[in-house]
Chains A and B, each alone.
Chain A
Amino acid sequence: MAKHTPLHAVHVAAGARIVDFAGWDMPVNYGSQIEEHHAVRRDAGMFDVSHMLGLDLGGPDATTWLRGLLANDVAKLHEPGKALYSCMLNPDGGVIDDLIVYYFSPTSYRIVVNAGTADKDVAWMRQRIAATGANVTLESRRDLAMIAVQGPNARDKTWAALPDTRAASESLKPFSAAAVGDLLIARTGYTGEDGFEITLPATRAEAVWNALVAAGVTPCGLGARDTLRLEAGMNLYGQDMDETVSPLDAGLAWTVDLKDESRDFVGRAALVANPARRKVLGLILEDKGVLRAHMTVFTAAGEGETTSGTFSPSLEKSIAFARLPFGVEPGEAVEVDIRGRRLKARTVKLPFVRNGKTLV
């Protein structure tokens, strides 16, 4: 039996095409995925991301325990509401999941994890609590819904739909959140555009979604979410990294914090013992066709492989992420094997697009 978010009936009523995503019935588009993509780049679109799981972490040992759990260091969080992106690693340095942790106080955090990994994440966290004997509590919040409102006009349209949230969220810096009544408004996202991710009680999800529609926010499916995150250079768990891949080989070295040598987080020893072997660059296909995952890339420095690929609606060309030998630099001509033919592509620094502007 597929799982449904609190907004499932709204999606069906809106004519969404529903697909299975990690056991959840989710909207892939409401018509044209490309139009939804452009709505986010040019105006405002929204995504139901209630399939992701929020977890409340509390207790006197919360900070110490998180510093041992995550590859990034929550000790750098001081402002209440500040968010941090991090990988959670296994002892071999492979990525169990990538997540966002919000700091409220040294004894109170909210963690948001991927839908497809949620059960395994919670099991791992509980195992770590038992193993460390830490005095913490961990609570799954399936009573919550999450709506991501993204695009250059996303904040204005959110305030039009939810006027009460304006005072608290207007001054929010990127990657920060504020509580407004029973809503948590975070200036975060997965599209490369400005906007909010709103966490709210599931019982209010439908009313808030409809208010956002009335304010002119375009409902967008997971299809557009994927092309937007690819253009924005953001990894997708299970596609660009997994338990067999080190964050150092997945373009995520910037999220691994080794500064405090006394901080012995899970996977640290493995990362130190196994430096990066690959670099991640973007590819733009010069020939006609569409890049997909797991295509072989031929470079002057050896072979590599694509991890994600799609047609970019903003560039009107195909783009991909590729794990490549260290000798390859941005701006090089490479070839990609597409169904037995070698097509021309060039390497670029990620991201491809940020805040509506093409960077490549």
Chain B
Amino acid sequence: MAELILEVKNLVRTFGRRRAIDDISFTLERGSVLGLVGQNGAGKTTLIKHILGLLRAENGSVRVFGLDPVADPPGVLSRIGYLSEEGDLPLWMKVEELVRYSAAFYPGWDPKYAEELQKQFGLSSDSKLGALSKGQRARAGLLCALAFKPELLLLDEPSSGLDPVVRRDILSAVIRTIADEGRTVLFSSHLLAEVEQVSDRVIMIDGGRIVLNDDLSNIKEAYFRIDIRFEANQEVPPTLPGSIHWEGKGKDWTVIWAGDQSALTSAVCALKGRILTNRGVSLDEIFVAYAGGCTQ
């Protein structure tokens, strides 16, 4: 088994009465890309704050590279490249100052790579960060997260509000990071098409709990969107093993369904229904099915 970069066990976090994280457990192996998805307020950022050691586990434990990020911040943070939606950059600095400032923090800073990225991103040394466009600021943040070749790249909603060209730069950075052997990526996003494009594994969080945690290819092979016509009007969504979410009324219903195809036709027949279409689904559709309620 590959080395575990991340090990979260039975993590709980409450804010007042609300359980922001409600008994979450998962692991992340070296060399893979994990996509973390969930609605706003589902608990993604709270989870990431625990990984960065900014929050102490109320219950359960968090280990990054086998270390406790709260007990050993330098041991953990010096190995994580972090980029958040906000960027958190000192806006009064010039690009060259930011580069010098960041380089001082990380022993593994690679000046040649930093220079290469700066050129590729079209960031001129004497531009003030505060005067840059949102996209260029995101690229500056990305440069800092990448230039010390971190073992774990942690991106929290990196693409929010950015144009497609910058988003592509970010995704390419994810790809190049993972192509360098032994490096790992965790990124959270609500742009599910991006998650589908680059992830090995997907964790979906809803209401502080994990509702889905699997290899993306397994997910794609297990979930279907099925249109069914019933002989009689259905007042409530029918009961069908494996159904996640129903939509429809009268005789025509659509279900997001997961399971073994061979059992499906007879199960639908038993309900006096007929399958009209049956196709694979995007992560977006699965997400809406889980988040949209009406779960059986």
Q: Do A and B bind each other?
A: no
Q: Which residues of B contact A (CB under 8 A)?
A: none
